[in-house]
Amino acid sequence: MAMVALAGFACGLVPALFFWQEAKRRQQALNIMAASFQQEIADRAETEESRKKLEKALLQGQKLQAIGTLAGGIAHDFNNILYAIMGYVEMAEEDLPKESPMSRNLAKVLQGAKRGQELVSRILAFSRRQHHDLQILDLREALEGALDLLRPTIPASVTVQTDFAEGSYPIHGNQTLLHQIMVNLVTNAVDAMEGEGTIHVTLDRIPANHLLLADLPEAPGGYCRIRVSDTGHGMDRATQERIFEPFFTTKEPGRGTGLGLSTVHSLVAEHHGEIMVDSTPLHGTTFTLLLPLHSEITKKGENSYGQNTVG
């Protein structure tokens, strides 16, 4: 009797054990799926957020263009005003005995006017949107060159780490302008860290169909992405929204003109690219630059980069 009961119990136990194991396996599979869904949702949310940032960056570009035009108009009038001031002061100086207190003070007026002159010429340089020669170059080499030149100017207490993904990065660019972009970004990073911390520079490719590029002009070969991150004091949202505006600076008077990042913005635009900023107060800032990869050469078959797999 006991045997039968035991056998019956065993018969029931085996399938039960089997089902229990199967259920556990399915539960695990579901857990994995849920995790991967969560990851995908997070990824999409992140991409969506980046896209929104990019949209904002594009709007910002239009705003900067308008400011540039305005600055050009103001600069013309300002040069006239400064010229009148300087001319009158020079005549007054001529009429006064040299070394008189009045003459010394007039020399200071002249000094001030000359500072004004320098500022106007910087505004003009910004608003003129000069047309520089762009040629096909390898962005990776250009970046390495810029960083080599920059290294001696970076304090020893700041570490520069680079992480460049393999491959070639042909772009339509200007070495000098790219250098200028990197100088501004790296100098800002050093300032933001008050001379101590780590600057991370990365380079990789974003494929053409990536959601992040939805609002950018089409580039068949996709885009290059440069990221310059620092471990500095970061900035709040309000500051982030204004950093590309000319004359906006958080540096103390005399230390920054507020033209560095607006210049970077216009130089990136000259490369038909976009720049975005992402920052967390107290944790650091990341600038992301997207520059279109040059793919015409590979299409025409004049492949000079040894990448026959493209196109």
Partner 1 sequence: MARILLVEDDELVRDMLVQVLQRASHTVISAADGEEASEILKKEHPDIMITDIIMPKKSGITLISEVINRHPAMEIIAISGGGRLDPMGYLDLSESLGAAVSFEKPIDNAALLMAIDLLVHGKHETSA
Interface ranges with partner 1 (CB under 8 A) = 72-84, 86-88, 90-91, 94, 113, 117, 120, 124, 127-128
Long-range contacts for 48-55 (Cβ within 8 Å, ≥24 apart)? Answer: 48/211, 50/212, 50/276, 51/211, 51/212, 51/214, 51/215, 53/276, 53/278, 54/212, 54/215, 54/216, 54/274, 54/276, 54/290, 55/215
E-strand ranges in the chain read 135-138, 158-164, 170-173, 197-206, 223-230, 274-280, 284-292
**Residue where the block lists tokens 């009797």:** 1
* Closest separation in Å from C-beta 110 to partner 1: 11
The DSSP secondary structure of 194-228, one letter per residue, reads TT-EEEEEEEEEE-TT-GGGTTSPP-TT-EEEEEE
* Closest separation in Å from C-beta 266 to partner 1: 15
* Closest separation in Å from C-beta 117 to partner 1: 5
| Nearest residue (CB) to partner 1, 104 versus 128 | 128
| Nearest residue (CB) to partner 1, 86 versus 154 | 86
Tell me the longest C-alpha to C-alpha distance in the chain. Answer: 133
| Nearest residue (CB) to partner 1, 113 versus 268 | 113
* Closest separation in Å from C-beta 72 to partner 1: 5
| Nearest residue (CB) to partner 1, 117 versus 202 | 117
Contacts for 145 with CB less than 8 Å, ≥ 6 apart = 175, 179
Q: Are 173 and 139 in contact (CB under 8 A)?
A: yes
**SS3 at position 279:** strand
Between CA 85 and CA 66 the distance in angstroms is 29
Q: At what angle do helices 101-127 and 2-95 cross, to 10 degrees?
A: 140
| Nearest residue (CB) to partner 1, 86 versus 96 | 86
| Nearest residue (CB) to partner 1, 32 versus 107 | 107
| Strand partners for 274 | 290
Q: What are phi and psi of 52, to 5 degrees?
A: -60, -40
Taking the C-alpha atoms of 50, 273, 58 and 227 in order, what is their torsion angle to the nearest 10 degrees? 30
| Nearest residue (CB) to partner 1, 117 versus 307 | 117
* Closest separation in Å from C-beta 260 to partner 1: 22
* Closest separation in Å from C-beta 128 to partner 1: 6
Do β-strands 158-164 and 197-206 pair in parallel, antiparallel, or remain unpaired?
A: parallel
| Nearest residue (CB) to partner 1, 110 versus 160 | 110
* Closest separation in Å from C-beta 111 to partner 1: 13
* Closest separation in Å from C-beta 112 to partner 1: 13
